[in-house]
Amino acid sequence: AIRMTQSPSSLSASTGDRVTITCRASQAISSYLAWYQQKPGKAPTFLIYAASTLQSGVPSRFSGSGSGTDFTLTIDCLQSEDFATYYCQQYYSYPLTFGGGTKVEIK
Amino acid sequence: EVQLVESGGGLVQPGGSLRLSCAASGFTFSRSWMSWVRQAPGKELEWVANIKRDGSDKYYVESVKGRFTISRDNSKNSLYLQMNSLEAEDTAVYYCARDKREGGAGPFDYWGQGALVTVSS
């Protein structure tokens, strides 16, 4: 199975900050990488697919980049509603696997 | 509006069985691959299984092979997960999710609210 490793596991930031989360795949996955946001007690919501394509309705302050094994999710000008846990997921091959998550907390 | 509503969760003893259901609406269910994804308390997301549009292809994570069965009824716009020989490690919130791509294998663009399954004596 392809292992997805996110870093950091948590971070503290302030409203207005720029935040970057990294995700590394244990083998090359081309651009078959998605990002999700999850708030406590809620289902995940879909943010980005194909490593850098924003899902319809997702604010443009979210962006993704990368290919192969190294990927990033960037949130420009962090808003209060962005404090949540973020997961990457590879869909290059079965079993589909997620990263361990990055919790973005208020500083 | 796409809606996915899970039901059937609950408390079950180790070795027992449970069947989860997911009622879909707001899209053409028969044209979508569907998945189950779970999340143990305080843990990361784990994909469990998915099923092709017509039910002819199914994929599972290794840890549930031989114990869980994914199925669907397109006439009822419903997805199911039959879980047998349940173990404590199966305790999780189980989400029904729609695979975005026509060929399946994720990613997941819509999710249900989740159903809690607790395996404990």
Whether the predicted pLDDT of B105 surpasses 90 = no
* Interface-testing mutation among B45, B47, B48, B116, with chain A (most A C-beta atoms within 10 A): B45
* Interface-testing mutation among B108, B109, B110, B116, with chain A (most A C-beta atoms within 10 A): B108
Whether the predicted pLDDT of A35 surpasses 90 = yes
B107 confidence band (pLDDT: 50, 70, 90): very high
Angle (CA) A67 A98 A12, round 5°:
85
Cβ contact, residue pair B109, A46, below 8 Å? yes
For the segment B71-85, what is each residue's pLDDT rounded down to a tens digit?
Answer: 999 999 999 999 999
Report how many helices (DSSP H) and strands (DSSP E) chain A contains, helices first: 0, 11
Rounded to the nearest angstrom, the gap between the alpha carbon of residue B51 and the centroid of all alpha carbons in its chain is 10
Cβ contact, residue pair B114, A87, below 8 Å? no
Whether the predicted pLDDT of B106 surpasses 90 = no
Token couple for B49? 């299984």
**Rounded distance, CA A10 to CA A17, Å?**
15
For residue A100, give the nearest of B44, B100, B114 by CB distance. B44
Handedness of CA B49, A26, A88, B52 (dihedral sign): negative
